[in-house]
A = this chain, B = another copy of it.
Amino acid sequence: MSTLNNFWVIFLLILSISADAFCCSIKGFHLVRNISELPQDDYGMKGLSHITVAGSLLHGLKEVEVWLETFSPGTGTPIHRHSCEEVFVILKGSGTLYLASNTHGEFPGTPQEYSVFSNSTFIIPANDVHQVQNTNEHEDLQALIILSQPPMKPYIYEDWTTPHTAARLLFPVFWDKECLEGTSDKDEL
């Protein structure tokens, strides 16, 4: 290979590394970031605002992920389950946690209902089917959501009678997909 060709190969290599680093890796973002200035989107889900505060695909985390999500009145998460640990810290508003802890049946069944409120916290047990809804018609529900084993691999239920075997894997989730290109898919599922 000529010297000129070598130059272009190295140049393009550097360019591709820089591009990756800028968008989606730990080298490409300011260490201290203002959450108010982070990108937020509804990702096609009306009433949602999602911000990845600290993430696997965006920031290179391997063991935890932190989201800030805001749900307008009447909206919420899908009915879903996942094998990772999840902690909610409610920052604003109030709503309802629906949790079906019966993992031995063929489908979740009628969930238990828990009131959640500003300054409350709760842990979702691994693999329990759950949904968090803003059931307060007067204000938004905002929560910090902490997850292990990123990126999340949720199984989505149509309703509480959907058999566990019919729940659909949603992967990748709606956000941060732009970072999936160029990453290894080893161990993702």
Contact = CB atoms under 8 A, between A and B. Distances in A.
Category for how many chain A residues contact B: 35 or more
A64 B146 CA distance: 8
Interface in A61-120: 61-64, 66, 84-85, 87, 89, 97, 99, 114-117, 119-120
Number of copies: 2
Contacts of A116: 32
Contact of A121 (B26, B54, B84, B114): B54
Contacts of A117: 32, 34
B61 A31 contact: no
Given A32-B114, A115-B32, A146-B146, A123 B85 contact: no
A62 B85 contact: yes
A82 to B, nearest CB: 12
Give the interface SS of chain A, mostly helix, strand, loop or mixed: strand
A148 B65 CA distance: 10
Interface of A: 26, 31-36, 53-54, 59, 61-64, 66, 84-85, 87, 89, 97, 99, 114-117, 119-123, 125, 144, 146-149
